[in-house]
Amino acid sequence: MLSKFIEPGFKVELQAIQRLGEENHEVAKKVYSSRVYDVISEDRLEITMPMEQTKLILLPVDGEYDMIIYAQQPYQCFVRIIDRYKSNNVYILVVEMTSNLRKFQRRAYYRFGCALEMQSRALMEEEIKSVEQDAAYYLTPGLPLKHSIIVDISGGGLRFISGQRYEPDSLIYCNYHLLIGGVNKECEVVGKILSVRELENKPGNFEHRVQYVNLDVDDREQIIKYIFEEERKNRHRERG
């Protein structure tokens, strides 16, 4: 797959897909620039080690990154660093794809297609006020929830289908579960409805696009970690 689209010299950008540690929080968010040195198999690349001014950046072996390759058509995939060495006086990183190569989505977060059950409801007036004030909002427990299905999710929001129609610009409470590192994590988030449309093939069912509101950094990173793990599982299944 790689050899069809990728050539030596193409620009590469790497960004850590999860926090490396509290003390390295800013480093984990940094984007590192590099270039393709060689395509060594259909799922492995040699890339030059990133530099800042004249200093080499020693990215760790086993580090996992979101990589963008600027070919004629930009591509994106998740990779893991499996080796680093010096060859012909050039410092090299060997990266292995842990997801499929896909066209780069020009948005802040990659959307992962899925089918996750979710419960939701519109926020009450007092809840809306606290959210709009960017306060530590309190959600009223025990209110009835509507069932829906998340069809894609990202670190910035989600898209879901429900028999309940929510109005654009309204705020809703969303509750769903993600399997992360073998642990079932409950996610409770507030989202803003960006758009809604009725499905042509399923009258009475509505597709909603949602943007997270006041999402905690740790919660966002957990969602991104879930996406990475699921992409890696899919990759392993396809490789047999």
What is the structure's pLDDT at 221?
Answer: 85
What is the structure's pLDDT at 29?
Answer: 57
Q: Do 2-103 and 112-239 have matching folds?
A: no
What is the structure's pLDDT at 17?
Answer: 65
Architecture in CATH for domain 2-103: Roll (2.30)
**Paired sense of beta strands 75-87 and 64-70, if any:** antiparallel
Cα–Cα distance, 238 to 138 (Å, whole number): 44
Q: For the chain, what are the domain ranges?
A: 2-103, 112-239
pLDDT digit string, tens, across residues 181-205: 899 999 999 999 999 999 999 999 9
Residues of the chain with pLDDT under 50: 19-28
What is the structure's pLDDT at 16?
Answer: 80
Q: Quick one: what percent of the chain has pLDDT higher than 90?
A: 54
The residue written with tokens 């899925």 in the block is 114
What is the structure's pLDDT at 25?
Answer: 37
What is the structure's pLDDT at 169?
Answer: 93
What is the signed CA dihedral for 36, 49, 62, 66, rounded to 10 degrees? -50
What is the structure's pLDDT at 133?
Answer: 78
Distance in angstroms between the alpha carbons of the first and the last residue of the chain: 16
pTM above 0.75, yes or no: no
Q: Determine the topology of domain 112-239 in CATH.
A: Thrombin, subunit H (2.40.10)
